[in-house]
């Protein structure tokens, strides 16, 4: 290539300063894992990103793995720092090494530029940060609570943003650092729903915030076709494919309820027939039917304002959630609500989680004289009817959620939903199920979300399929036992005067009747 004259070089520098795509295509080099140092020949989707970085102050990028998005971002940072004075860039990631790697890419592009294009040189180099002679600087940081808070930033890059815990709170502190015109690029593969990245992208797509959304799935790359996809995914799980390649929020996360099952629930969502109560949070889809049986299960808020009290009313014959509540009433008010609703639905079995302030609610219900409270044996959690519990010393009112029972009730909930044994009409409940995830091996609500309705529903499923099923079997057993017992006022023939003898024919008839009863109720005896 013919060397450029000084005047031509100046023209090229001016051209590079106006167009980042032109700069990177002609004067940047990147490291390739197979071919080493090569010219940066950008793809069309990468050129579009560069234009977005320039045109929009805030960008959120939902991307597949290995598209070179981090590399094109590094290229943009080089252009911003090289051709603009006093730019302050902060790169953040959940792991410091990830942020440091992006800074390393930026430094490598700077170091391999033609000397005459490099209008600013590296002045201070601290490995994970460096400063150019024109005053522009960049540094890597982990997502600690105080990261970047004391700085005025020109550009904030959040790498793998969906995987950063507590980014909601972190963003609250970081946003003011961009108040002087700073820009933000948030990029990530998906990691379920409900986190800051997911919500920011969804809101951006709905034009509900200032972010510009970009979705880049695996097939935007011109060198990838269906054959490549099939080969690449041969040894990948469904979740990995969704996360790494398809940019699918719903399937990518560690949700307790499978996304396909969530999809089925979404199909059944319906507006309630009534939205009533003092706070209009009592939703009713079906009023009490005297011919049906109901179950009322309540979760009680801790009282610290972080969660809500919630309950479901379930029609046992069809396992439909016919009514629900979620709100923040006082203990006295909530107790009264439960009493009135339980009485309204035929004095149905009322189950209250007895943890924390749940005891206070139960005491109020006992004081009010609710006739059908759930009791259980302390050691086994076996259901005991209220009238029986009053005569026993080892029972406790309400349902005890513990390290032993919590996994059981959640497993039962997942089973009911997976097998389509329960019908849910509430959008509130389904939204909670979306953000109910496995975190550190425990099922719980995603940070910033609640699981009040979920836990009440889980307890309801467990009680319906265990405690009530066992109780029904016991009732049937008693019925079968009593039906097989015959009474007689006849006296047997003996030598004692006044005694009547045994009638063999009638006795045989009674025996046959007993056998018939045994046959009818054999399912009970067999369990």
User: What is the DSSP code string of 357-426?
Assistant: THHHHHHHHHHHT-S-B-EEETTT--EE-HHHHTT-SSEEESB---TTHHHHHHHHHHHHHHTT--B---
CB atoms within 10 A of CB 86: 11
pLDDT at residue 513 tops 70: no
- Residue 448 Ramachandran class (φ > 0 left, ψ -120 to 50 alpha, else beta): left
For residue 52, how many C-alpha atoms fall within 13 Å in the half-sphere facing its CB?
Answer: 21
pLDDT at residue 319 tops 50: yes
What average pLDDT does range 387-413 have in this prediction? 86
Q: Which residues of 28-52 are buried (b: 16+ CB within 10 A; e: fewer)?
A: bbbeeeeeeeeebebeebbbbbbeb
What average pLDDT does range 135-161 have in this prediction? 84
Which span out of 194-208, 233-247, 462-476, 497-511 was modeled with the highest average pLDDT? 194-208
pLDDT at residue 91 tops 60: yes
Pairing of strands 282-284, 274-276: antiparallel
pLDDT at residue 413 tops 70: yes
Mapped onto helix, strand or coil, the DSSP state of residue 433 is helix
Which span out of 162-171, 376-385, 463-472 was modeled with the highest average pLDDT? 162-171
For residue 189, the model assigns a pLDDT of 92
Whether the CB-CB separation of 313 and 348 falls below 8 Å is answered with yes
Annotate 157-224 with DSSP letters as a single string.
EEETGGG-TTHHHHHHHHGGGGTTT-EEEEEE----SSSHHHHHHHHHHTT-SSEEEEEE-GGGSTT-
What average pLDDT does range 482-499 have in this prediction? 42
Query: In this predicted structure, which of 86-90, 176-180, 376-380 has the lowest mean pLDDT?
Result: 376-380
For residue 1, the model assigns a pLDDT of 60
For residue 382, the model assigns a pLDDT of 79
- How sure is the predictor about 318, in pLDDT bands with cuts at 50, 70 and 90? very high
pLDDT at residue 160 tops 80: yes
Q: Which residues of 221-251 are buried (b: 16+ CB within 10 A; e: fewer)?
A: beebeeeeeeebbeeeeebebbbbbbbbbbb
What average pLDDT does range 73-81 have in this prediction? 97
For residue 380, the model assigns a pLDDT of 73
Instruction: Give the residue from 68, 62, 143 showing the smallest Cα distance to 99.
Output: 143
Digit-coded pLDDT (tens) for 215-229: 999 999 999 999 999
For residue 235, the model assigns a pLDDT of 84
**Across all residues in the chain, what is the average pLDDT?**
85
pLDDT at residue 57 tops 60: yes
For residue 481, the model assigns a pLDDT of 44
Q: Which residues of 100-138 are buried (b: 16+ CB within 10 A; e: fewer)?
A: bbbbebbbbbbeebeeebbebeeeeeeebbbbbebebbb
For residue 494, the model assigns a pLDDT of 39
Instruction: Give the residue from 375, 108, 425, 62 showing the smallest Cα distance to 247.
Output: 62
Digit-coded pLDDT (tens) for 353-371: 998 889 999 999 999 999 9
- Residue 216 Ramachandran class (φ > 0 left, ψ -120 to 50 alpha, else beta): beta
Query: In this predicted structure, which of 108-112, 143-147, 297-301, 331-335 has the lowest mean pLDDT?
Result: 143-147
Q: How far apart are CA 340 and CA 278, in angstroms?
A: 13
Q: How far apart are CA 47 and CA 216, in angstroms?
A: 13
More confident residue, 519 or 413: 413
DSSP secondary structure letter of residue 330:
-
pLDDT at residue 504 tops 80: no
More confident residue, 344 or 465: 344
Query: In this predicted structure, which of 66-80, 355-369, 395-409, 474-488 has the lowest mean pLDDT?
Result: 474-488
What average pLDDT does range 314-328 have in this prediction? 95
Q: How far apart are CA 288 and CA 381, in angstroms?
A: 29
pLDDT-above-90 percentage for the chain: 60
What the chain holds in terms of domains, given with CATH numbers, is 6-251 (3.40.50.300), 259-469 (3.30.420.240), 484-526 (no CATH)
Which span out of 159-168, 230-239, 338-347 was modeled with the highest average pLDDT? 338-347
Q: How far apart are CA 427 and CA 404, in angstroms?
A: 30
pLDDT at residue 515 tops 60: no
């Amino acid at each position: 290539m013919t060397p450029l004259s000084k005047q031509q070089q100046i023209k090229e520098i001016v051209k590079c300063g106006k167009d980042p795509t032109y700069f990177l295509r002609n004067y940047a080099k990147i490291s390739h894992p197979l071919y080493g140092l090569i010219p940066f020949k950008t793809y069309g989707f990468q050129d579009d990103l560069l234009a977005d970085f320039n045109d929009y102050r805030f960008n959120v990028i939902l991307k597949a793995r290995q598209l070179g998005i981090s590399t094109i971002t590094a290229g943009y940072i080089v252009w911003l720092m090289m051709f603009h004075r006093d730019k302050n860039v902060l790169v953040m990631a959940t792991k410091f090494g990830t942020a440091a790697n992006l800074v390393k890419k930026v430094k490598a592009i700077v170091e391999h530029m033609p000397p005459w294009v490099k209008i600013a040189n590296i002045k201070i180099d601290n490995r994970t940060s460096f400063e150019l002679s024109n005053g522009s600087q960049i540094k890597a940081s982990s997502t600690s609570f105080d990261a970047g808070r004391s700085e005025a930033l020109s550009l904030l890059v959040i790498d793998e943003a969906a995987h950063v815990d507590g980014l909601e709170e972190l963003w609250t502190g970081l946003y003011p650092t961009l108040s002087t015109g700073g820009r933000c690029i948030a990029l990530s593969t998906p990691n379920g729903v409900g986190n800051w990245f997911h919500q920011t992208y969804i809101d951006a797509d709905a034009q509900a915030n200032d972010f510009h959304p970009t979705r880049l799935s695996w097939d935007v790359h011109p060198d990838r076709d269906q054959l490549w996809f099939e080969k690449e995914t041969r040894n990948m799980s469904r979740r990995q494919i969704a996360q790494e390649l398809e940019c699918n929020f719903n399937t990518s996360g560690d949700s307790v309820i499978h996304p396909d099952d969530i999809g089925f629930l979404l199909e059944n969502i319906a507006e309630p027939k009534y939205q009533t109560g003092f706070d209009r949070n009592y939703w009713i889809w079906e009023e009490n039917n005297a011919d049906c049986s109901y179950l009322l299960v309540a979760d009680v808020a801790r009282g610290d304002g972080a969660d809500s009290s919630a309950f479901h009313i379930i029609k046992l014959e069809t396992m439909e959630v016919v009514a629900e509540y979620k709100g923040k009433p006082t203990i006295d008010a909530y107790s009264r609500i439960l009493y009135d609703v339980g009485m309204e639905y035929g004095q149905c079995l009322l189950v209250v989680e007895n943890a924390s302030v749940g005891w206070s609610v139960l005491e109020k219900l006992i004081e009010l004289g609710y006739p059908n409270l759930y009791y259980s044996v302390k050691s086994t959690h076996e259901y005991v009817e209220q009238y029986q519990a009053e005569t026993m010393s080892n029972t406790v009112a309400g349902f005890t959620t513990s390290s032993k029972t919590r996994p059981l009730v959640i497993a039962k909930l997942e089973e009911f939903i997976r097998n389509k044994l329960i019908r849910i009409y509430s959008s509130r409940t389904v939204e909670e199920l979306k953000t109910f995830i496995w975190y550190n091996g425990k099922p719980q609500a995603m940070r910033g979300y609640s699981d009040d309705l979920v836990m009440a529903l889980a307890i309801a499923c467990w009680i319906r399929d265990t405690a009530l099923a066992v109780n029904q079997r016991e009732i049937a057993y008693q019925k079968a036992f009593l039906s097989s017992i015959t009474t007689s006022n006849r006296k047997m023939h003996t030598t004692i005067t006044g005694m009547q003898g045994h009638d063999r024919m009638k006795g045989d008839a009674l025996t046959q009747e007993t056998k018939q009863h045994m046959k009818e109720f054999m399912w009970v005896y067999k369990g």
